[in-house]
Structure 1
Amino acid sequence: MAQLATPRPPPRRLRDGRLGAVFVLTRRVGFRDAGGGDEPVGRVVADFAELVAQSFVAAMVVLLVFGVVTLGDSASSVVRLGLVLVVPFGFGAAVANRLLGETDAPIEEEAFPHNLAVFTLGAVFFSFPIAATEEVVVIARNAGWPRLAVVVVLSVGVVHLVLHELEFRGHRDRIEGRTHFLQLGTAATAYVVALAVAAVLLLGFGQFDDRALTEWVQLTVVLGFPAAVGASAGEVVL
């Protein structure tokens, strides 16, 4: 990933191409329902700026938490790396808004323990393509325990946001009659499922071979983040 952010000719063309892709995405998908008509240009530009800003901030948070960038890195390299991630983060935000957006139709939510299968499917879908990559090992090796503790908190927080704070599909049904304690319990349950899925995938791909138990934990926590995102998304979609 860092190699993608290093200067290469022609850097301006690549940067403009990335931002252009985000602009087209905003125009065709967008964050808001325009009621079936074309949106004004000013609204599209505002949505574009909002999407880029949110994607860049989200990318920086993830990169800082996982130690990919540090406060000592040069501003230019940090900005370049952020721009590399603007497109995937922007696509993810827009697609999530379109697929997971709140609808008027009631959505039945599976109760415990049936929702464990939904959490599992979502976690597998998100983490399976990543589990065998070397990036998981590199990030786990360089993160350190304090940073991994932050990853755990961030993972549970993201699950809680997706399930109970952001107005995705079925939002009203998921929070109706449930205290904040129960909501956090659901988020923690989804995260435990995500960690279990991550551990099984890492074991299956041989990532635990010839490594100590502490390294197993580090790898599982790192892969547990995308698995947790998938688990919460699965509960919304399925």
Structure 2
Amino acid sequence: MAASRGRERDGGGVATLRIPSSTEFFVGAGRAFAGALLFSLPMLMTMEFWQLGFTIDPFRLALLLAIGVPLLVRLSRYGGIRHTVRLQDDVADVFVSLLIAFVTAGLLLWLFGEVAPGRPLREVWGKVAVQAFPAAIGAMLALNQFGQGDTDADADADRGEIETRYGGELFLMVVGALFLSLNLAPTDEVAVLAFTMSVWQEIGLLVLTLLLMHAFVHAVEFGGTHRRVAGESVLGLFARSTLAGYAAVFLVSVYVLWTFGRTDGVALHEVISMAIVLSFPGAVGAAFARLIL
């Protein structure tokens, strides 16, 4: 039987709750493992992330994971390990996805020789935990990316209702920006680019980022492209969606840079420069997250 968000219609057309079978759950868990592996593999094989096990501030890492839990719960509404209707199911799926993410990261880092018995616990924990949140995002997106697309009409209606909300659109942009920003913020290239670019080049990159965000989501008619509401001007749509989305992406970039210690002892204008650089891939991730979820 195809998986559904949890509702089926009986002969009289009345919606009833259906409990997903154990087979569906384990299939979903397998997809979650594939998603965690796909989304975290670039980080798992990047030296800067291995070094974070030594350098990342424990409080900032704990804060990232603490913020990640409610974010993942919300993300489960758009697509998770399985289709759900109840909050407790979303919470359960989040902790399953985190477990899968920690196991995936820990196993691969052990196979790569980056964690091993006898090494300091803080180092092992830091290396695994910093990989776990992006891997958990991949696990939670498993149903959207690897599922069969066989949701029922009620599921589509629920999802469509959520996505039409303005806050929901911004949330999806934050998720996409956070994922790509986490992948790139620890690398030295972000700081090097920010140091070598002139002010006019940074302004040009900012303008290009805004144009790409607007084009991907509103202009080039990809599947899932947002439609302008009746009576809304192009400038109004640009301000309400693209500018607001970029502001969210920029704040995400600053937060991620702070989490990885990239803002420590750095002048304000240098932080802004790094955030502009990091917001470029973050904005691309934000735009495509809005389209594919």
Percent identity over paired residues:
28
Where in structure 2 are the equivalents of 1:44-193 lying within 5 Å?
Answer: 108=160, 109-171=163-225, 173-177=226-230, 178-185=232-239, 186-193=241-248
The DSSP-based 3-state class of the residue aligned with 2:167 is coil
Q: Which runs of 4+ in 1 moved over 6 A?
A: none
Distance in 1, Cα, partners of 2:245 & 2:215: 12
Aligned match for 1:227, one of 263, 278, 282: 282
Report deviation, 1:176.
4.8
- The letter of the residue matching 2:288 is A
Aligned to 1:213: 268
Q: Partners of 1:215 and 1:131 in 2: how far apart?
A: 14
Measured in 2, the distance between the counterparts of 1:175 and 1:115 equals 13
- How far, CA to CA, are the matches of 1:165 and 1:132 in structure 2? 32
RMSD after superposition? 1.9
Distance 2:271 2:202 in 1: 13
CA contact (8 A) 1:127 1:226 kept: yes
Q: C-alpha distance in 1, partners of 2:247/2:286?
A: 10
After superposition, give the CA deviation of every residue in 1:125-160 in whole Å (9 maximum; x if it has no partner).
222110100000000000011110111101110000
Does the 8 Å CA contact 2:223/2:291 hold for their aligned counterparts? yes
Deviation at 1:182, TM superposition (A): 2.5
Asked if structure 2 preserves the Cα contact closer than 8 Å seen for 1:163 and 1:174, the reply is no
Q: Which residue of 2 aligns with 1:49?
A: none
- TM-score, normalising length from structure 1? 0.53
Aligned length: 134
Q: Distance in 2 between matches of 1:233 and 1:183?
A: 18
AA paired with 2:185?
A
Contact 1:160/1:183 (<8 A) preserved: no
1:177-211 C-alpha deviation (Å, 9 max, x unpaired): 24202221211111111101100000000111111
Deviations 1:11-62 (A, max 9, x none): xxxxxxxxxxxxxxxxxxxxxxxxxxxxxxxxxxxxxxxxxxxxxxxxxxxx
* Residue pair 2:176, 2:289 contacting (<8 A) in 1 also: yes
Displacement of 1:123 after TM fit? Answer: 0.5
Measure, in 2, the Cα distance between the counterparts of 1:135 and 1:127: 13
Asked whether the equivalents of residues 177 and 249 of structure 2 are also in contact (C-alpha less than 8 Å), the reply is yes
